[in-house]
Amino acid sequence: MQPVSSLRLAAVNRHRQRLFGDSSLKVYTTTPEAGETLAATFAKDWFAQRVWRTTDQGVKESGRWQFQIPAKEDWGKSQAFMLAIVALTVYDRRWKVTKIEKPIGTSLMWKVKAEIQ
């Protein structure tokens, strides 16, 4: 697998800064003993976009988002916690995780689908 290209990361960071400024993305997991705990903080190279869904009545809903977070080469060991995340926050905005897609192929990006809480 190859890491994401530097041109792609530069574009990702410009888009992220337009939407969220310099805020970091924080991911949370949950355990029965500790409850919800901070698992990791990503300061750069992550990407977010709205996923528009049209209802049966033809109304567009914008509460869904897709986040792309860079994966490490050894993501199966060093980022195994990503398979158990339940929530994301950026500054004071919060999303509930609905789906997590593992990095596949050469992209080395986690794809996380979430809804605004």
The better pLDDT of the pair 60, 93 is held by 93
**4 secondary structure, DSSP code:** P
**92 secondary structure, DSSP code:** T
Any idea where the domains of the chain sit in the sequence? 6-116
6-54 confidence digits (pLDDT tens): 777 788 788 788 888 888 999 999 978 888 999 999 998 888 888 877 6
Residues 102 and 84: their CA atoms lie apart, in Å, by: 12
* Average pLDDT, integer, range 80-92: 93
Provide the residue count of the chain. 117
Residues 43 and 89: their CA atoms lie apart, in Å, by: 12
71-82 confidence digits (pLDDT tens): 888 888 899 999
- Taking Cα atoms as reference points, which of 29, 43, 44, 31 lies closest to residue 97? 29
State the residue for tokens 């800064």. Answer: 17
Q: Which CATH architecture has domain 6-116?
A: Beta Barrel (2.40)
DSSP secondary structure, 7-57, as one string:
HHHHHHHHHHHHHHTTPPEEEEEEETTTEEEEEEEE-SS-EEEEEEEE-TT
Q: What pTM, to 2 d.p., does this model score?
A: 0.81
Residues 66 and 69: their CA atoms lie apart, in Å, by: 10
Q: Which two tokens stand for residue 55?
A: 């209802």
Whether pLDDT at 95 is above 90:
yes
SS3 state of residue 75: helix
Contact call for residues 83 and 102 (beta carbons, < 8 A): yes
Tell me what pLDDT residue 1 has.
43
